[in-house]
Amino acid sequence: MNFDSGDSCFYKNDEDENLICEISYSMADNNMISIDRTFVNDDYCGQGIAAQLVDCVVKMAREENKKLYLAAPSLKAC
């Protein structure tokens, strides 16, 4: 799945502009990116979308030579 990028997030909307999924992040400091929230619409659960979203942030962190911090206590499986 290809994701769109927004202000400190990656997301995907369906053809009706309903949110399918989103991951939001922030800069914890100059060297660290904090993953703050993940969301996957219940209709799309079980398709590995959350893992793909996390991969987007991991790739960005590697490209920018930054570390990752998971601010949310857990990524809930759906």
Give how far the C-alpha of residue 45 lies from the chain's centroid of Cα atoms, to the nearest Å: 15
Q: Report if residue 75 sits inside a domain.
A: no
d(CA 44, CA 7): 23
Q: What is the pLDDT of residue 76?
A: 60
CATH number at residue 20: 3.40.630.30
Q: Report if residue 78 sits inside a domain.
A: no
Q: Report if residue 12 sits inside a domain.
A: yes
Place of tokens 């053809």: 15
Q: Report if residue 13 sits inside a domain.
A: yes
Q: Report if residue 77 sits inside a domain.
A: no
Tally of domains in the chain = 1
* Residue type at position 51: A
d(CA 39, CA 53): 9
* pLDDT tens, residue by residue, 34-69: 999 999 999 999 999 999 999 999 999 999 999 998
Q: What is the pLDDT of residue 35?
A: 92
Give the pTM: 0.85
Q: Report if residue 57 sits inside a domain.
A: yes
